[in-house]
Structure 1
């Protein structure tokens, strides 16, 4: 089975981490985020993937080459962003599948543990033009909702509303009949959610919903990105791409953690990173070459490549860009982001993203 992997977004919600690295390539539980998707796709029977790229397109082939995690890879780039449907159509000429074959569509910012094989089986059994993975959420008002009938056919795509008719939402993984992809206009900006799927439904085509409420996470925000890495390290979702066994922490080659430091809660410590004695790091991502000094505390945060946290400093829900540094005594909280190369001098002042 072939797949198209949508990785063209700029990842603006994750800045400053995405200034130099596309969101799908950010280190997540010891590997680029996409490595986890590739490994899970291979386990589901995918043998070939077309990357639909745009932002920093050249970095994807440099990272994965022509094959990785048991999957053959090829790359197609958009000159201008074409939306989800347009990106799928733009990548389609690189497919080798026949007109009736299933083609899996994956989003490069979704971490999901759902049963892809079961989704494909439903698609083929129903003779569907497209089959969507739908998940259930506690607060569907934050999302568009996707109702289905008694046979599992999708009946509508509804915008966000305070009174949603269902708790089912689009989880961002689709199976298309190859010929259905060719109905998407070529070279145009198209939303698969707002145009392609509603168009298929209105024309009488079968669009199915595979409802599965297992692990699912959109890693597009800093909080969700940290959570995704933490959940992988802790084993809440399995990934063949993780370079180590699940546990309280994951140490990559060359990482140095003092026996007097506390590193736990699903923390990933990158290559050459160091945590000194007396420091506490919980549920965080320390990228390659990061440094956490004696007595510092880091919780639910990302410390970028080569970034430094000074002695006694506190980071709680913070993003430090590559090469940034926080001097001793600083206290940073509540979503604060420090851009690459910025240095905060020693201080005893508390900073928060809520400060004006």
Structure 2
């Protein structure tokens, strides 16, 4: 299996807390945040992990010169900010021949330690083109809500309204040969997969979600970054 971690963002909202390193290297209990993501991936049968890097990318590269993991790691460099969608598009263009037919994508600023084997079986059993790992969130005022039918197929994304809802957990599985046209067609370099791609994809390909009750943390804002040390200390 292969995974892409989206770690090229500028992390502007977190600068008041972490200004000297890029967000993937933000320290949590004496280790950089990306350390926990990669140790989590080591529990599963990944042969290669791609990491999309941009802001202060040399610091991330230097970290991996000193720290090794059980799978091969390859960096995909962004010369300018690409957004989550642009980063996946850049990955598909530059690494096409080396990408598996089915691959995982993880947001570089969220920690959602679901059972990836269970998620992959769900994806395969439904012959899905895109599967999104999700969870319930009380008083959701930050994330788009996911509406599903009785077969777990995604039928709508709804703006947050402060109520309890099913949210995108930032872990995806893509079928490569079904998404190229959606990502490439009439797209600028910088765009969002959540805002610009998913609402279109649900009408063009088979998109499903599986709900998990696992802890979830997004370190993108200071309040949640502070909370991360308690949640991640459980692993």
TM-score, normalised to structure 1, is 0.61
- The equivalent of 1:107 in structure 2 is 107
Match of 1:12 in 2: 12
- What CA distance in whole angstroms lies between the structure 2 residues aligned with 1:214 and 1:159? 23
Greater relative contact order (Cα < 8 A, sep 6+): 2
1:63-142 alignment, distance < 5 Å: 63-65=63-65, 68-92=68-92, 93-94=94-95, 96-98=98-100, 101-142=101-142
The Cα shift of 1:86 comes to 0.8
For the 8 Å contact 1:135–1:212, the answer to whether it is kept is: yes
Residue aligning to 1:267: none
Aligned to 1:172: 170
Contact persistence 1:50–1:94 (CA under 8 A) = no
Equivalent residue number for residue 182 of structure 1: 180
Whether the 8 Å contact between 1:54 and 1:77 is mirrored in structure 2 is yes
Cα displacement (A) at 1:199: 1.9
CA separation of 1:194/1:142 partners in 2, compared to 1, >3 Å: closer, same or farther? closer
Contact 1:65 1:73 (8 Å CA) reproduced: no
Instruction: Tell me the SS of whatever aligns to 1:68.
Output: coil
Aligned to 1:210: 210
Determine the structure 2 residue equivalent to 1:340: none
Unaligned runs of 5+ in 1: 239-356
Q: Retained in 1: the 8 A contact 2:146–2:168?
A: yes
Alignment of 1:145-156 (within 5 A): 145-156=145-156
Alpha-carbon RMSD: 2.0
The answer to whether the Cα contact below 8 Å between 1:66 and 1:72 also exists between their aligned partners in 2 is no
Q: Give SS of 1:213's match.
A: coil
TM-score of the pair, normalised by structure 2? 0.90
Do the aligned residues in 1 keep the contact of 2:16 with 2:222 (CA within 8 Å)?
A: no
How many residue pairs get aligned? The number is 230
Question: How far 1:127 sits from its partner (Å)?
Answer: 1.2
Alpha-carbon distance, 1:211 to partner: 0.7
- Name the counterpart of 1:251: none
Distance 2:228 2:45 in 1: 23
Secondary structure, counterpart of 2:103 in structure 1: strand
Unaligned runs of 5+ in 2: none
Q: Which protein is bigger by CA-based radius of gyration? A: 1
Structure 1 residues 70, 225: CA separation in 2 closer, same or farther (over 3 Å shift)? same
Separation in 1 of the partners of 2:138 and 2:103? 30
1:187 Cα deviation (Å)?
5.7
- How far the C-alpha of 1:5 sits from its partner, in A, is 0.5
